Structure 1
Amino acid sequence: MASAPFTVSQERKIVTELPGPKSRELHELRRRVVSRGAGTLADIYMDHGSGAILVDVDGNQIIDLGCGIGVTTIGHAHPAIAAAAAEQAGKLTHTLFTVTPYENYLRVAEKLAEITPGDFEKHSILVNSGAEAVENAVKIARKFTGRRAIAALDHAFHGRTNLTMAMTYRPWPERAGMGPFPGEIYSVPTSYPFRDPEGMTGLEAAERTIDYINTHIGATELAALFVEPIQGDGGIVIPADGFFQRLSEFCTENGIVFVADEIQAGIARSGAWYSIEHSGVVPDLITSAKGIAGGFPLAAVTGRAEIMDAVQPGGIGGTFGGNPVSTAAALAVFRLIEEENLIAEAQRVEKAFFARMGDWASKYAVVGEVRGKGCMFGVELVHPGTRTPNPEALSAVIKHATSNGVIVLDAGSWDSVLRFLPSVVISDELIDDAATVIEEALQALEP
């Protein structure tokens, strides 16, 4: 494991019931001052953290398998990130790059051109969040192609703004009552090996997608196809081999911009800089966010220079995009990933998860499949003897895990996938401890 300097012992330690008394007190304040629309998975209020451990306001040490939904990939409160941000905050916190530029923005764009797939000239724009990156990728693709239609895969999650909600698959809770949404947004079939017809190959699934595009949209009308190489909120869905290769070819043949949305799976989380690399595909545009700046708000669109430069000056941008402090943190993240060989650490975590949890589908009737790549894992829960989604089981597992000091995430179009997005610095011992807690819940669900 990487030798990250931890300020909290890397162990689960429960000293009060969860949530504890101070968390319950804060939760009452929350009820009075925060919109209920900002729902919470676990009503446990955090004070600090280090590595893969969070410490709540009552002093409980909790194993974090969520990382703020994939943000703290390199671990909580890494001293190198804190130092880089503090140094920059003491020099310059804001000028707005499109008014008076600064070097950090350029260095982040330079690094993104280096680490994203493809041996061609690439340009970037920096923004605040994943949804904003997706919105800008839509604008760029439409401007470049002169077309309006946008396609996203079934089970996709691309954000919570009005446009990105239209690109997000499931209606509840993100989209319910939020419309109307923009037009010319289409959802097309994906490859979902656990739920596809038995034996369907990635190529066959791609031809199904292509047929849908041709018959429901028209290839010559489509500006861009957005794909998540590993669908996070969709349930850690990893398409069958050959799926993305064929779709990429189809896009090239028809002048469609192929966009890899790497907001959750990118920046070393999957055991590569970007998860599309596992497919051997080079996208035209790629979006980055979440893990890019160690917890500071930053996102990017990177892609072929001729596509990125199709937009007129002033056509894309924003007040806080590429903020000096966030970009300083991002540069520190890039250095740490390389110096600590954190891509290899993500591969270590993958092996540890499969070694510890890979047999759950054969041990527990409620587990349909365990799947994952790097530090992204999903456990699909079903009604025993079927492939029918089991959201009740997911709720029970999450409740047991959080009340025993393990933060996990929900996922899936049917709310039936247990999702793990741990830090790459999580130890094998913490993985084993967390798995033991989750196994207690799975065992209680056995018929």
Structure 2
Amino acid sequence: MSGLTSSSPASIDSAASRGGPGLPQERRVVTEIPGPKSREMFARKQAAVPPGIGTTLPVFITRAGGGVVVDADGNSLIDFGSGIAVTSVGNANPRVVERAGRQLADFTHTCFMVTPYESYVAVCEKLNQATPGDHEKRTFLVNTGAEAVENAVKVARHATGRQAVVVFEHGYHGRTLLTMTLTAKNMPYKHRFGPFAPEVYRAPLAYPFRWPTGRENCAEEAFAQTVDMIEKQVGAENVAAVVIEPIAGEGGFIEPARGFLPRLLEYCRANGIVFIADEVQTGFARTGHLFACEDEGIVPDIITTAKGIAGGLPLAAVTGRAELMDKVHVGGLGGTYGGNPVACEAALAVFETIEQEDLVGRARHIGSIMLPRLRALAERTGIIGDVRGRGAMIAIELVRPGTKEPDPAATAEIAKRCHAEGLLVLTAGTYGNVLRFLPPLVMPDHLLDEGLSILEKAITEV
């Protein structure tokens, strides 16, 4: 249960939602994209930053908020990316700015492990209350989603005395050694970065669109294959944790076939395996629930969160059953910057905004606009093989018409055309053929509508 309730409407009207005063909520293209100033800055970037740090769209941002980002050349782009699901409450949410700014003036850091402060505890209390399940919980804070996942695995291994970890095809969990190992996709995340961490085993994800025997068989067959792999290759008694995204993010916004997650959770419970839900991308109202697990009533043993937690400031969390979390010895968890006080104040502002603005309802409203239009577009064009997602976490998978053959070239071309017209979109997917849409939950309807029109035009032209 979320513990967050609101009677506010799903529409977005308040100044808090518009990303601060003085930033018009409009698309405005005044130069080619990228413009001359952004191109000049990008040349500086290439001279100073290694090419391994990629760039989706080389426009340099000077202001952002609500549903737009404004670049150095004065172009105002509609934002369908939210910094990869980070700025759900907007890039300059006044509550976040006010609370974080006040904390900056008081102190920026002491290290919670040296001399603690109240805001860290308050964020942990919020997460213990808001995450699924009424059991007693504990939370600790770190900096990034990858760090959260890695620490969740540490807790599971310590608590169970086991070593093996089971993950799934198409999953993405981070770029550290362990989380890179947990991640399924080779390029660009794993290529030539081995050797990888030991005792990680990969099972098939219940991917309805691409399941060989059809959607109707997906959940049951994927579960059976997962159990078969565990029991033949690993032994359930050796598995510390199963780690899964309730909706696979970088893998292409894949919703596991309904019934798969409940069966998997039941199996974990029966075999003493810790069920870890990676909600780094799906959390904080993004999917029309506060957490995506809630859609099928999943109560994970441990849940990891980051991205949307703090309105753009670096913060992540591990929340789990008290009997698991309390097993780790003193000093076994932590980090210098984990739960930075400025980021904690920002997180408390995010919780407040989700409640006051009814952003859970707002995410559902966004989905109710996007999904019908995208499904109608799929019917008209034939290039869209699948439309999927929940709330404001929506994707389309692009294929060669009449087949399920991935079409990454068309995907890249559509994204390029959207960018040129002032619409920021992101690609994803194991096959590079998914366009994913993560608009800020505070985006006004007129920008959402205009962005969809640009997308429709680009797809129709391609």
Question: How high is the TM-score relative to the length of structure 2?
Answer: 0.95
Work out whether residues 156 and 274 of structure 2, in 8 Å CA contact, stay in contact via their aligned partners in 1: yes
> Is the counterpart of residue 442 in structure 1 residue 459 in structure 2?
yes
User: Does the 8 Å CA contact 2:12/2:443 hold for their aligned counterparts?
Assistant: no
**Residues 1-27 of structure 1, C-alpha deviation per residue, up to 9 Å, x if partnerless?**
222422322221111110001001101
For the residues of structure 2 that align with 1:399 and 1:2, how far apart are their CA atoms? 29
**Identity between Structure 1 and Structure 2 (%):** 48
Which secondary structure state, in structure 1, belongs to the residue aligned with residue 63 of structure 2?
strand
Q: Is the 8 A contact 1:141 1:224 kept in 2?
A: yes
- Separation in 2, partners of 1:408, 1:188: 30
Q: Which runs of 5+ in 1 are unaligned?
A: none
Q: Separation in 1 of the partners of 2:104 and 2:443?
A: 29
User: What residue is the counterpart of 1:77 in the other structure?
Assistant: 92
The corresponding residue for 2:283 is 266
CA contact (8 A) 1:213 1:219 kept: yes
Q: CA deviation at 1:92?
A: 1.6
Aligned counterparts of 2:62 and 2:155: Cα–Cα separation in 1: 40
Structure 2 counterparts to residues 72-221 of structure 1, below 5 A: 72-196=87-211, 197-198=213-214, 199-221=216-238
Q: Which residue is equivalent to 1:375?
A: 392
CA contact (8 A) 1:126 1:300 kept: yes
Equivalent in the alignment of 1:302: 319
Query: Which residue is 2:8 aligned to?
Result: none
**2: CA distance, partners of 1:271 / 1:171:** 31
Structure 2, unaligned stretches of length 5 or more? 1-10
Aligned counterpart for 1:256 among listed residues 260, 268, 273: 273
2:293 to 272, 276, 284: 276
Residue pair 1:85, 1:325 contacting (<8 A) in 2 also: yes
Alignment partners' CA distance in 2, 1:244 and 1:211: 16
Alpha-carbon displacement from aligned partner over 1:117-176 (angstroms, at most 9, x marks no partner): 011110011000000000100100000010110111110000011110000001000111
The alpha carbon displacement at 1:444 in A equals 2.0
Structure 1 residues 222-371: aligned runs within 5 Å = 222-371=239-388
Contact 2:203 2:225 (8 Å CA) reproduced: no
SS in 1 for 2:64: strand
The equivalent residue for 1:2 is 12
Q: Is the 8 A contact 1:2 1:341 kept in 2?
A: no
Please say if residues 400 and 407 of structure 2, whose CA atoms lie closer than 8 Å, have aligned partners that are also in contact.
yes
In the superposition, the TM-score normalised over structure 1's length comes to 0.98
Whether the 8 Å contact between 1:244 and 1:281 is mirrored in structure 2 is yes
Provide, for residues 341-388 of structure 1, a one-character-per-residue CA deviation record: whole Å limited to 9, x for no partner. Answer: 111001100101113222222111211011110110110000111001
2:106 is paired with a residue whose SS is coil
Shift of 1:207: 2.1
1:393 match:
410
Contact 1:4 1:425 in 2 (8 A): no
Distance 1:65 1:240 in 2: 26
Give the conservation status (yes or no) of the 8 Å contact 2:246–2:279.
Answer: yes
SS at match of 1:90: helix
Q: Is the 8 A contact 2:301 2:320 kept in 1?
A: yes
CA distance in 1, matches of 2:72, 2:238: 54
> What letter is aligned with 1:79?
P
SS in 2 for 1:439: helix
CA distance in 2, matches of 1:122, 1:15: 52
Provide the aligned length of Structure 1 versus Structure 2. Answer: 445
Deviation string 1:393-428 (CA, Å, 9 cap, x unpaired) is 111011111111111111110001001111111222
**Would you say the 8 A contact 2:306–2:317 is kept in 1?**
yes
Could you say what secondary structure the match of 2:242 adopts? strand
Q: CA deviation at 1:182?
A: 0.7
Cα shift readout 1:30-87 (whole Å, capped 9, x = no counterpart): 1110110000011111111110100001111100100110000111201111011000
Specify the alignment match of 2:6 in structure 1. none
Deviation at 1:201, TM superposition (A): 4.3
The answer to whether residue 66 in structure 2 is matched with residue 51 in structure 1 is yes
Instruction: Give the whole-Å Cα distance in 1 for the aligned partners of 2:351 and 2:444.
Output: 21
Supply the distance in 2 between the matched residues of 1:288 and 1:239 (Cα, whole angstroms): 19
After TM superposition, list the pairs within 5 Å mapping 1:421-440 onto structure 2. Answer: 421-440=438-457
> Counterpart of 2:299 in 1: which secondary structure?
coil
Q: Is the 8 A contact 1:2 1:342 kept in 2?
A: no
Superposed CA RMSD in Å reads 1.0
Q: Distance in 2 between matches of 1:214 and 1:59?
A: 58
Q: Distance in 2 between matches of 1:216 and 1:359?
A: 44
